[in-house]
Structure 1
Amino acid sequence: MNIVTELLHIKYPIIQGGMGNISNAKLASAVSNAGGLGTIGCGTMHPEQVESIILDTKQLTTKPFAVNIAINVTPFVDDLIALCIKHNVPVISLSAGNPAPYIPKLHEHGKVVMAIIASVKHAQKAAAAGADILVAEGYEAAGINSNLELTTFTLIPQVVQNVTKPVVAAGGIGDGKGLAAALMLGAEGVQIGTRFIATKEAPFHENYKNQLIQANGTDAVIIGRSLGRIRRVLDTAYVRNLLEKEKNGITLQEFSELTTEKHHLIGAINGDLERGFINGGQVAGLMEDIPSVQELMENMIQTAKAQLKFGLTSIETVVSDN
C-alpha cells in the first residue's frame, strides 16, 4: 500500500507542482485524469481568478486535485482557504511560509494538507502542526527556492529519518528513474513541475517548451542569490541581462520589479524571452520530447518498476559476488 495514493485517492504517487500565476485548469485536470494529483497554484492571483480556474478544473475532471497557496507570496491567504472550502477542493498545499495557523481550519473541513518544506527543521515543525504529507523540495527545483540550497538526494533521506509523516520528493525529478530513486530514498511519491510544462496539454508558449527540451544540464540558472531571493530559471536573454544587473549591484526593489509574475507571464504565456523569464528546474537537461500527460506518467511508472527490479537484481549480484 502506498500511503500517499491512499490519502489523496489517486492512482499514481505523482503530484503536479504549483505553478503560480501560470497555473491553469487544462494541465491540472490532465494530471488528475491521468491518475496523479493536478494542482492549481495561486501565486499572486486574485481569488476571483483562482475561483474561475477551480470551476473550470471541476468541469474537466471528477478526480481529486489540489490548490497550492504560497503563504508569504499571496495577500489573499484567508480568502483562498475560504474559496477552497466553498468549492470542496480536497487537497491544500501550503508553501512559502508557516502552515501551522491554517492547518486546524483545513482539517476541520476535511482537507488533506500538504506542506512544502526544505529542511528537517521545517519538516518537523510542519509535522508537529499536523500536516498530512510533507513535500521535501530540493534545490534543483524550478522557481522560488530555499536559501538553504539542500539537494533532493540529501534532503529526502534526512527528512524521512526524522519524521513519521509520509514524504514526497520534489526537485530534479521528471522521469521514471527519478521516481524510483525517490522511492528508494524513502519517499512515498514525487512532485514534479518542470517536466509537466513540456507536455501536449500544457497551454504554454511553444518557445517555453522548446527552450526546455533544448536545454542542457547547466541551462537552469539561479538568479537573486546576492539578494537572498533565490529563484531557478532558464538561461535566456532576459535572464542574462538580469544576471548582469545583479553582478553590478542591482537593488532589491529593482530585482523584485524585474521578477514579478507579469514578467513570468510574458515569458511563459507570450513566449517573449527578451522581455520575460521562464522558470525551469535542473531536470530540463533530461527532457527531450513533448508527450501527453498520460504518456509521460505511464512511462514514468513503467520505467520506475523496471528500474526498481533492475536495482534489486544488481544489489543481489554485488552481494553474491562478495
Structure 2
Amino acid sequence: MFQTKITELFQIEYPIIQGGLQGLGTSPLVTAVSQAGGLGLITAGSYPDKKAMLSDIEQVRANTDKPFGVNIAIGIRRPMDEFVEGVIEGGVPIVFTSGANPEKYMKKLKQAGIKVVHVVPSLRFAKKAEKIGCDAVVALGYECGGHPGLNDTTSMVITPRIAKELSIPVIAAGGFSDGKGLLAALSLGAEGIQMGTRFLAVRENPIHDKIKNRLIELEATDTSIIKRSINKPARVMKTEVSKKINELENQGCTVEQLLPYIGGEAYKALIEKGDVNQGVISLGQVVDAIDSILPVSDLINEIVKEAKDELYRLNKLVVFSQKEGVFVDD
C-alpha cells in the first residue's frame, strides 16, 4: 500500500485516479476503478442533464461503497451549473474541475463539504487554484491526452515545479500508465497520478472494442495536436480526421468550419461504433506503452506491484551507512 497525502485526502487505497473521459467516465468504469482501490470519476459531460448524472451516481453507489467523485469540465462545451448543483444534491464528496476557473462554484462546493481539485497546465494557474481554496491540483503535462494548455511543458518539468511552490497536494497527469510512472511521479513531489489514456484500454470502459484494439497498435507518434488556431490545443489520436482538421487550421479556417469534425455527434459515432473516420478522441503519448486490455482490478494491481518492485530495485543501488547516517554509493 502507498500512503500519501492524496490517499489520506480521498480515503483511497492507492494514489491512482481515473481522468475525465467524455462519454466514457460512467458507472461501469468508475465503479471498477474505485472498487479496485483507486478513485473513479464520473464525467459530468457524459450526461444530457443533471437527472441522468444523478441516476448514474446512484448506480455507482449500488455497486461499491468505496469513494468516488465527479469530473466537471467548465466552459468547454456547455454551461455546467446544473451539474455542480447535482453533485451537491447527490452528496458526492469529491469534485475535479478543469477548463475555466472554478472560483464561482467554490463557495457552494465547500459549504457542502466537498473536496475540490482543479486541473492546471501551469504554475500560475496552480497558485490561483490554491488561493481560491482548492484542496489539491492536478499538474497536467504536455504529453497528456486532451487539453495540455498553451505552454507545452512536460510532466517531468511541471510536476516538481508546482509541487515545490504549493502547500496543497499535487497529482501528476500526462504520460503515466504503469508502476514505474507512479514511482517517478512520487519522486518528483506528486502525491499520486491521474490516468486517462490508460483507462481507455480496460475491459470496463464502454468504448467500442475496435478502438481498444487499435490502441494496442499505436505509438507515441500516433497522436496529434489540433485546435491550436483557436488557442484550445488538444492532443488526439492521429487519424484522417485529425489531419483534415490540421489542414483546415493551416488554411485559416473558422470555428464553424471545425465543428463537423470536433462536435459531439461525430465523437459519439467514434466511441460507440468504433469509426475513426468520425470525430476525434483525446489520446496521450503514453498510448505507446499500452500493450494489453485488462480488467481494471488487474491493471491497478499490476501498477502497484511494479512500483513496489521498482522501489526495491532502486533501494539496492545504494547502501545505508549507519556510522555516517547517510546513503552512500555502493
Aligned to 2:284: 281
Cα 1:256–1:315, aligned 2, differ >3 Å: closer, same or farther?
A: farther
Q: What percentage of residue pairs aligned between the two structures are identical?
A: 37
Flag structure 1 segments of 5+ consecutive residues without an equivalent: none
Q: CA deviation at 1:308?
A: 2.1
1:229 maps to 2:232: yes
Distance 1:261 1:152 in 2: 29
Aligned to 1:266: 269
- TM-score for the superposition, normalised by structure 2: 0.92
Aligned to 2:31: 29
Q: CA deviation at 1:309?
A: 2.5
Flag structure 2 segments of 5+ consecutive residues without an equivalent: 321-326
Matches within 5 A, 1:194-213: 194-213=197-216
Distance 2:142 2:218 in 1: 18
Structure 1 window deviating more from structure 2 (74-83 vs 8-17): it is 74-83
Contact 1:47 1:76 in 2 (8 A): no
Distance 1:133 1:153 in 2: 19
| Number of residue pairs the alignment of both structures matches | 321
Deviations 1:243-264 (A, max 9, x none): 2322333222222442122222
Distance 2:262 2:307 in 1: 36
Letter in 1 for 2:130: A
Aligned to 1:292: 295
Aligned to 1:7: 9
Q: CA deviation at 1:44?
A: 6.7
Please, what is the CA RMSD of the aligned residues?
1.8
Q: CA deviation at 1:76?
A: 3.6
Cα 1:311–1:109, aligned 2, differ >3 Å: closer, same or farther?
A: same
Contact 1:9 1:64 in 2 (8 A): yes
Structure 1 window deviating more from structure 2 (93-102 vs 174-183): it is 93-102
Cα 1:302–1:106, aligned 2, differ >3 Å: closer, same or farther?
A: same
Deviations 1:52-87 (A, max 9, x none): 322222222221111111111253432112111111
Cα 1:133–1:213, aligned 2, differ >3 Å: closer, same or farther?
A: same
Distance 1:261 1:64 in 2: 30
Structure 1 window deviating more from structure 2 (244-253 vs 144-153): it is 244-253
Given the alignment, which residue of 2, 20, 23 partners 2:22? 20
Secondary structure of residue in 2 paired with 1:208: helix
Given the alignment, which residue of 63, 72, 75 partners 1:72? 75
Distance 2:86 2:77 in 1: 14
Structure 1 window deviating more from structure 2 (301-310 vs 158-167): it is 301-310
- TM-score for the superposition, normalised by structure 1: 0.94
Given the alignment, which residue of 108, 114, 117 partners 1:114? 117
1:320 maps to 2:329: yes
Deviations 1:103-162 (A, max 9, x none): 222111111111111111111111111111111111111122311221111000000110
Letter in 1 for 2:12: I
Letter in 2 for 1:36: G
Distance 2:207 2:80 in 1: 26
Contact 1:173 1:192 in 2 (8 A): yes
Letter in 2 for 1:193: G
Contact 2:26 2:46 in 1 (8 A): no
Distance 1:308 1:220 in 2: 31
Structure 1 window deviating more from structure 2 (297-306 vs 252-261): it is 252-261
Distance 1:92 1:316 in 2: 43
Given the alignment, which residue of 284, 302, 306 partners 1:303? 306
Contact 1:26 1:60 in 2 (8 A): no
Contact 2:14 2:38 in 1 (8 A): yes
Structure 1 window deviating more from structure 2 (99-108 vs 278-287): it is 99-108
Deviations 1:203-245 (A, max 9, x none): 1101211121110120111111233221111112222222232
Contact 1:212 1:280 in 2 (8 A): no
Aligned to 2:324: none
Aligned to 1:61: 64
Distance 1:264 1:303 in 2: 34
Q: CA deviation at 1:190?
A: 0.4
